[in-house]
Structure 1
């Protein structure tokens, strides 16, 4: 069972020396910690301390993720993280405006930076930690702890929390320390019932922690705890409520569902990476300026003006692929004016090429199956077809699975995870749908889920199931499996040598 040591802090407001100096002492005394989460505002207008951080004069001792609170990031920070994939300096990464990440330890973190002016409905459930700048409204309800008068809190955050049901929730807006008793997430007269919830989501309570500002000598500004991520939790944890658990503090009115909150959509393909960053402007502002208004799937009544088909934006239309210049020569076939196509799904491949490609793919899958069998493993393969998605390419992932996990066991794991994520897996029909997730098991059987064009499908779904099954949840996100180039080259050479006796032979090759 994997245990992760996590440390969270409130707003630093530019006091970077004080923050990371204090963290070094806390880490030496109570650590070592695996993860540091900075809630609220990390920066102020003190450019000297920012320069010291970027130059390395101020050291970040722990892998750290930060957000922003009431204030936007300073321009120098914004420019650096946007050009450096979220990394400001070694060990320090910007989370972004809103989204989800899964750390290398398997900790799933959802976050919403800034002051919420609209409801966010696209964050997933079953997250280990939720980070918001604002406190949720009514969080002190049913608590026996004493808190100062004048606690405000946000109805938007309260509504968000009832949907996400995090195990831990950290916020910094009230600038005081408040470690609330855990509260239940089961339906009650005070919470809106959600038909999509499962017993797994209901089974764990939420611990809310408000954090004071860094350096506050009268109120605690940091909070450390041990966490076993969701993906590593044994079943017994879901049926043992803590003794001091209270009823859910959020009433139906605090969720705001009768107010018709504007929903903000988040592209799942962007939020499920290592980082998610943005300029912090609202979707409405971006749309007015003609930017970022084509993220995710278009609405159901949208029809592409190029091909007269729904399901993709006009600038992602597969029929409008640019042709290479006449001076271009393909490095693969040495022919001028030919370009190697990038297809988001099998259906986008020209019909005349589909038969030969299918035959080639099946030969490679058969060869891989023989290779894996020689090492005492079966083979599981899965693919995702998302027609017209410019940031998605057609590919099949192949994973060797020890023979102790037979097809029935693997099938049950996929069905169980699908039920948690409200996916409908069924045996494949002779004709596959346009958008789908498909998995094939070692015995030759398979399952298919048809993906709705408006659905925010988790592209890591197949890896998530197999990661849990094989006890390798830290490898769920492919980005977190990267090795130094020399090690990857060595692994590739070893695989090449092992595969050579089984590699299919093609005419002319």
Structure 2
């Protein structure tokens, strides 16, 4: 039997670092060693004076410490980078939300801040539907038989978590329906969050199972403020085996005090319910167009009582994010412009040289291109292959003609050693998602296989193999990126979501300039 992993979790520190680290040091010496300390509440106080000795290296932090982010505007100034940064030796801010994998194999999912009132332009101390969906996706990615995660840490309470719990009355200041939904999706063995002054430990609850199968339980624990006057518990020691290494008999062992799952209604749905229509703020990767509502069972009718004919959409090139003449295009990402197509750096790229090939005018997909545009895109592909071949890499080209209005050919280079494995890796991922991924004959033409209006996923592998899937419904939007980010290919699972890879406009401009210079010998447009 492997030795259990031991970590410490504390509530809000509010700048009382002396009390925190003195206690942690003593507990670690007496009952350790602990792998790390996790702080689920506010870390900084109103004054920065108590932090300066640690920041300057005059005082040492006894244990690797990971903290969640700010929960209000006045705390933002304490964080140099809201996507994550080291604050001092042994203290790291792990970002607004994500999945943290410890060296021991322990999986920690986390969401900092409070729920935003709107999904549009959330502030640095808020989280949105997109944030919790991203956390769910990265935890489930590549795991068709997902069992759950070890720990979920949040700055706010999930709504209704006290339902069926203890009779103890507890004061709750910040609740979130989104976090309840996330807890249902992730099935954490432990869910930690901060309390105001009162420690609260809920009786274990059985996780929801739509199939009625036996599930493991979750322990929800809210920790009081560090050094609180009421002497409520603020430091918690966890001894745990990673869920991925546990035997089913151990994982599903029942307890005598367990309760039903406290969450209900829309919290149990596989997708978050939302009344207002979302708008994507992506420019150069996986733009989500509005849903095609033509598949609804209840069809609208014309004035004659018959089914109303669908009118073809009318696109305004002035507002399209990818038509080169549009003012919406982020032109600092453009690398090379031909007569019919252009090359650009992907925003939030999986790797630094993640590219896009796009038609200059408005065209929906590779299957619907005029011959002149198709020829120039092939010329870009040829030039790109030669460029990466000189660098001992090989490009994977893929297109998702689904929930997009303008063709984007994604170009992601991979190491030559994985080229012969790519088809099998794509097929394995497709099988895990319940997708039929077909290999096309060498001389097959897309416009014959996918008539106009057909949604599809298409990939061209460095080996010359072509993979195709005719999309019917519920296709994972970032399927191509998920496969290439996997451990088997690029080993960049933490970069699978483009939002986790954004950099400043200045950095984007410099990356584009650097790539443009190195690509110039292969650029046929020069």
Task: State TM-score, norm by structure 1.
Answer: 0.60
Q: Which structure dedicates a bigger proportion of its chain to strand?
A: 2
Equivalent position SS for 2:414: strand
In 1, Cα distance between equivalents of 2:94 and 2:278: 17
Question: 2:206 touches 2:259 (CA, 8 Å); kept in 1?
Answer: yes
In 2, Cα distance between equivalents of 1:266 and 1:364: 36
Residue in 1 aligned with 2:100? 102
Question: 2:37 touches 2:66 (CA, 8 Å); kept in 1?
Answer: yes
Residue in 1 aligned with 2:184? 162
1:321 pairs, out of 317, 331, 337, with 331
In 2, Cα distance between equivalents of 1:449 and 1:56: 58
Residue in 2 aligned with 1:185? 207
Please give the residue correspondences for 1:441-480 in structure 2 after superposition, counting only pairs within 5 Å.
Answer: 444=465, 446=467, 448=469, 457=478, 461-463=482-484, 465-467=486-488, 476-477=493-494
Cα distance change of structure 1 residues 88 and 359 upon mapping to structure 2, 3 Å threshold: same
Note the alpha carbon deviations across 1:138-171, whole angstroms, 9 max, x for none.
Answer: 323334x563455677352434433444343111
1:147 pairs, out of 145, 168, 177, with 168
Question: What is the CA distance between 1:451 and its match in structure 2?
Answer: 12
Residue in 1 aligned with 2:510? none
Please give the residue correspondences for 1:405-424 in structure 2 after superposition, counting only pairs within 5 Å.
Answer: 410=425, 413-419=428-434, 424=435
Q: Does 1:81 align with 2:81?
A: yes
Question: What is the CA distance between 1:392 and its match in structure 2?
Answer: 11
Question: What is the CA distance between 1:43 and its match in structure 2?
Answer: 1.4
Question: What is the CA distance between 1:416 and its match in structure 2?
Answer: 4.4
Equivalent position SS for 1:176: coil
Residue in 2 aligned with 1:175? 197
Residue in 2 aligned with 1:342? 345
In 2, Cα distance between equivalents of 1:323 and 1:362: 20
Equivalent position SS for 1:206: strand
In 1, Cα distance between equivalents of 2:281 and 2:27: 35
Cα distance change of structure 1 residues 41 and 266 upon mapping to structure 2, 3 Å threshold: farther
In 2, Cα distance between equivalents of 1:312 and 1:34: 51
Note the alpha carbon deviations across 1:272-302, whole angstroms, 9 max, x for none.
Answer: xxxxxxxxxxxxxxxxxxxx9x997465699
How many residue pairs are counted as aligned between the two chains?
410
Question: What is the CA distance between 1:22 and its match in structure 2?
Answer: 2.5
Structure 1 regions of 5+ residues with no counterpart? 188-192, 270-291, 325-329, 333-338, 373-378, 480-504
Question: 2:53 touches 2:59 (CA, 8 Å); kept in 1?
Answer: yes
Task: State TM-score, norm by structure 2.
Answer: 0.58
Q: CA-atom RMSD, angstroms?
A: 5.6
Q: Does 1:33 align with 2:34?
A: yes
Residue in 2 aligned with 1:247? 260
Note the alpha carbon deviations across 1:426-478, whole angstroms, 9 max, x for none.
Answer: 225643889857485989464658699997637752256544xx9x97x6336
Residue in 2 aligned with 1:43? 44
Residue in 2 aligned with 1:397? 414
Note the alpha carbon deviations across 1:358-381, whole angstroms, 9 max, x for none.
Answer: 34666799999xx99xxxxxx996
Question: What is the CA distance between 1:248 and its match in structure 2?
Answer: 0.5
Q: Does 1:224 align with 2:212?
A: no
Structure 2 regions of 5+ residues with no counterpart? 120-127, 141-147, 293-312, 337-341, 347-354, 361-372, 497-521
Question: 2:191 touches 2:221 (CA, 8 Å); kept in 1?
Answer: yes
